[in-house]
Structure 1
Amino acid sequence: MTAIAALPFLPEAVIFDMDGLMIDSERVSLACWSQEAQELALPFTDEFWLGMVGLGDRDCEQRLLQHIDADAVAALFARCHDLYEARTQQGLPLRPGIVEILQLLQAHGIPRAVATSTRQPRASRKLAASGLLGYFDHVVTSSDVAHPKPAPDIYLLAAQKLGKAPSRCLALEDSPAGIRAAVGAGMTAIQVPDLVHPDDALRALGHRIVDSLQDAQALLVPLLRRA
């Protein structure tokens, strides 16, 4: 891995995305979209679904409406919702390293929140089923804000609930939309790409990009040791 710049300060709080960063759910979600679109004979490619990673339901709906009518969008959403719920009830795997970094922050008393495009109550249900809900002081979702990612609202609200200035928070994300939201909120951001990798335009934001959550943790350890 190319050397990554050290973090400029010990964060007063760390805010985590959920899908694709903590829970390995993006592949399941994309598979549901693709399967149901094929069954409904809708003309979408895998690249189209990748473009929706990290977006809230409203933005996904707007993208779909550019290609199919409202009835087809409603049918697709309903069928995908049912299929996704059935698959998530079977349990979803965690991303490697997530429990370790959460335990490290917990041991050092660093407050933690979730900022996810998933709506309530699904977000809390997925966190609970994955055994992660208890690690967080707050869970902020797209149900709680007027404008979901890539707007900064979710991250600004998470910082507010934690009682911390956004400039003193660290955000961990996997998707381009999430990184734009975190950087737009004025936070230091680390991207751990999953399905969608940063292009030149995203890299120009100047955030840190690492290969794994273990690499993200390695940036925190020296600061925590000095605390």
Structure 2
Amino acid sequence: MSLLAPVDFTPVAVLFDMDGLMIESERALLECWREAALELELALDDALWLSFVGLSDRACHDLLRQRLGDEDTVQALLHGLQRRYDARVDAGLPLKTGVLELLALLKARGVPRAVVTSTRRPRALQKLESTGLLPHFDDVIAGNEVQHSKPAPDIYLLAAQRLGVAPSYCIVLEDSVPGVRAALAAGMTPIQVPDLVIPDDAVRALGHRIVDSLVQARALIEPALKASLPSGA
């Protein structure tokens, strides 16, 4: 399969990750990470934070504890990070190019849409409300609603169950590698729109579609939607 081949089936639902995929949040979070580490005089490079992309809060905390050792330092870092990031969220984070147009297309064609994010539900709803995205979705499935986070398939299987659709006919839009692996493990078709973390050869070997933007993702999805329209539509 070509990595830019249009989707070859009629999707019954499209599932969206949130941070880095629809919301321009990862760059803001990276800046807050740098500032919080600098305040505590910690020598932490960007690669550490980038390794957290797509993981649950619990997994990120465990990785930080392994790196820093001292729980008090971990908590101080997280507190500084959260304080700065809260201010960014409250001020409003921008949307990714093409997200509103894609959502409008799917709504017009009657395709169910859900947010599937590793973020905890209260925070996810806050972000979706502040960006105006929440009304565009039929459901929100958050990281604290499953026992095993991405790259386990649990959260995507729960999304299919909640929407009442077959996993094999779901398209997943993801920016992160854990999210792509979760979608594949759930038997779904992922389209990856990388943000800060560029896919390496091992990721590309997974064989899924990788595009530069949600505009390109729409170009791969729309032909399948047109094919499902009744004659004369």
Task: Report 1:118-197 matches (<5 A).
Answer: 118-197=119-198
Residue by residue over 1:139-190, the C-alpha shift from the partner in whole angstroms, topping out at 9 and shown as x without a partner, is 0111111111121111111111111111110000011111111111110000
- Classify the secondary structure of the residue corresponding to 1:67: helix
Distance 1:59 1:3 in 2: 30
TM-score using structure 1 length: 0.96
- Classify the secondary structure of the residue corresponding to 1:170: strand
Q: Which runs of 5+ in 1 are unaligned?
A: none
Distance 1:55 1:114 in 2: 16
Distance 1:31 1:200 in 2: 28
- Classify the secondary structure of the residue corresponding to 1:104: helix
Distance 1:183 1:73 in 2: 33
The answer to which of 163-172 and 146-155 deviates more is: 146-155
Residue by residue over 1:15-65, the C-alpha shift from the partner in whole angstroms, topping out at 9 and shown as x without a partner, is 000000100001111111121011112221011111111111111111111
Residue by residue over 1:56-107, the C-alpha shift from the partner in whole angstroms, topping out at 9 and shown as x without a partner, is 1111111111121111111111221121111110000000000000000000
- Classify the secondary structure of the residue corresponding to 1:89: helix
> How many pairs does the alignment contain?
226
Is this contact kept in 1: 2:10–2:227, CA < 8 A?
A: no
TM-score using structure 2 length: 0.94
The aligned counterpart of 1:33 is 33
The aligned counterpart of 2:231 is none
Distance 1:128 1:50 in 2: 26
User: Deviation at 1:8?
Assistant: 2.1
Distance 1:28 1:53 in 2: 13
The aligned counterpart of 2:7 is 7
Q: Which runs of 5+ in 2 are unaligned?
A: 229-233
> Could you list the runs of 4 or more consecutive aligned residues of structure 1 that deviate by over 2 angstroms after TM superposition?
none
Is this contact kept in 1: 2:6–2:219, CA < 8 A?
A: no
Is this contact kept in 2: 1:34–1:49, CA < 8 A?
A: no
Root-mean-square deviation (CA, aligned residues, Å) is 1.2
User: Deviation at 1:3?
Assistant: 6.7
